Structure 1
Amino acid sequence: MAVVAVTGCKAEVDRAGGAGPEPQGQGQGKAGSALAAVDQLAVKGRAPKTGYARERFGTAWADTDSNGCGTRDDILKRDLESVRYSDGKCKVVSGRLAPDPYGGRDITYTRGRSKVDIDHLVALSDAWQKGAFQWEPSKRIAFANDPLNLLAVDATPNRSKGDGDTATWLPPKKGFRCAYVAGQVAVKKKYGVWVTAAERDAMKKVLGTCPEQKLPTGGNPTAAPSRFHAR
C-alpha cells in the first residue's frame, strides 16, 4: 500500500468567507499534482440540499467489492494497527489509530464504544449539492463506498466538519491539510463533483504551500487505494 508523506503544509482558511485572492505564483502546479488538478474541476454555485438523504447513497457500508466484508470494516482493517477480529476475517473488534490524521492523537478503537469515525473526505451532502443529485443510484453507492473517499479518523474533529468543504473546514493538524485537500480534489475529479469559487480558491491556497503534493490514485473496489497518512 502506498504511503503519502506530507510535510510543511501551513495554510489557513477563513472559515466564514473562503480563502481570498490566489497567492502570487501559486496558481499552477506540475502535471500529476493535486494543485494542477484543481483547475480541472468545474466551478458552479452550490445547488439546494432539497431531496438529500443518506439513503440516496445506498445502504450504509455496503459490500461493494464482494469480499464478504462491509466497507466500514474494510477501512478499519486498512487504517488501524493491531487489528483484531471477532470472526477471523471481517468484523473488526479492536485496533489502534496511530496517529489520527485529523488531530494527531493515538486512539484505541473498541467496537461498540468507538471514538473512531470513518469519514467521507467529500461529504455525501456536499456531493449531493454539487452534482450527485443528478446521478444514477449506482454511482452514488460507488461514491459512498469508494476507499479513495474514506478515512478512519478521530470522531471529535470529524463531527465538527459536518458537510463542510475546503472553504469552511480543514483538519486541526496543519501537517495533514495538504493530503486532505489533495484527497478531496482526487475524489471530486474522479466523480465529476463540482466546486464553488470559494472552495476552488481555498484548495489552491492550501495546495499552493505544497505544490509537489501528488493527486492520490486508486480506490476502486478492486485496487488498493493510496494511504492519506502523515506521520
Structure 2
Amino acid sequence: MSRKHVLWLAVAAILSVLVAYQVTSATNPPAEYLADADVPTVAPGVDVLAGIAQIDARPRRGDYRRDAFGDSWTDDTSAPGGHNGCDTRNDILDRDLIDKTYVAISRCPTAVATGVLRDPYTSATVPFVRGAQTGASVQIDHIVPLAYAWDLGAGDWTDEMRTRFANDPANLLAVDGPTNQDKGDKEPAVWMPPNAAFHCQYAMQYIAVLRGYRLPVDAPSSQALRAAAQTCPAG
C-alpha cells in the first residue's frame, strides 16, 4: 500500500500501554492516532491476545441504542486539533485525508471542504467533497463497532465512558463509505477488510482497542485476529 496506516503497536506488551482508554482511570486521555506509523511488527511466539478475555460466542443483547454512546460526534477528543470547535468527525477527516482544502462551518473554522482518501479497507482512492452526500463516499468507521462493544460489555458502562469510546480517535478511521456500510457491526470472524494487505494493521488496532477498554473477544473472532496478526512482519 502507498499509505502505511493506523498502527504504532508492535507487540502485546506495547499494546497494554498504548491504549485508547484505561477503564480504571476516567481521567486518562485516549491515545492519539499516528497517521504515518509503520506497519506493526509482531515478535515470534507472542500471543497478541494475551490478557484479553475470551468468550465462546458474541452475545446478542438486543437492546443496543446508538444514542447510548452520546451525540454522534463531540469536540472532546485527543485527535490532532481536538477542542478546536470541530467535532470528532471533522478532526478525523482532517487527520486521514490528503490534498485538503478547508471551509469554516458553524463552530468549526477548519472543516475539510475537499480532499482525497487513500482507503485502507479497499486500497482505492476516494475523492471527498463536502455536501449533502458527503457521508456516501467517505465515512468514519468505528474499528471496534459500537454495537459489538455494547454486546461485549459497553452496555454496562457509564454514559461518559460510552461517549468517550465513540469519539476515541484510536478507534476511528476514515474509510470508503459503501465498504463501511458492508461492515456494519460485524465482528472480525464475519468481516475483515477486503484489502488483505491491511489485515495486520486492522487486527492490531482492533486488539489495542479491546485491550484498552478491557473488552473480551468471541472465540471465532480471536481466531480471525490471530490469523490476521500472523501477516504482520516479524519483529
CA contact (8 A) 2:113 2:129 kept: yes
User: Percentage identity across aligned positions?
Assistant: 39
Alignment of 1:1-231 (within 5 A): 1=34, 3-6=36-39, 28-29=45-46, 36-44=47-55, 45-65=57-77, 66-87=83-104, 89-97=109-117, 99-112=118-131, 113-114=133-134, 115-210=137-232, 212=234
Gaps of 5+ in 2: 1-33, 78-82
Q: TM-score, normalised by structure 2?
A: 0.74
Q: Which amino acid aligns with 2:128?
A: Y
Gaps of 5+ in 1: 8-25, 30-35, 214-231
Cα deviation 1:102-139 (Å, max 9, x = unaligned) = 11111110112230010000000000000101101111
Matched residue, 2:27: none
Q: Which has the higher contact order (CA 8 A, sep 6+)?
A: 1
**Number of positions where the alignment pairs a residue of Structure 1 with one of Structure 2:** 188
Q: How far apart are the structure 2 equivalents of 1:197 and 1:182?
A: 16
SS of 1:181's partner is helix
CA contact (8 A) 1:37 1:185 kept: yes
Evaluate the alpha carbon distance shift between residue 53 and residue 183 of structure 1 in structure 2; reply closer, same or farther with a 3 A threshold.
same
Q: CA deviation at 1:74?
A: 0.3
Q: CA deviation at 1:211?
A: 5.7
Q: How far apart are the structure 2 equivalents of 1:134 and 1:38?
A: 23
Q: CA deviation at 1:2?
A: 5.5
Q: CA RMSD in A?
A: 2.0
Evaluate the alpha carbon distance shift between residue 175 and residue 5 of structure 1 in structure 2; reply closer, same or farther with a 3 A threshold.
farther
Q: Which amino acid aligns with 1:95?
A: G
Q: TM-score, normalised by structure 1?
A: 0.76
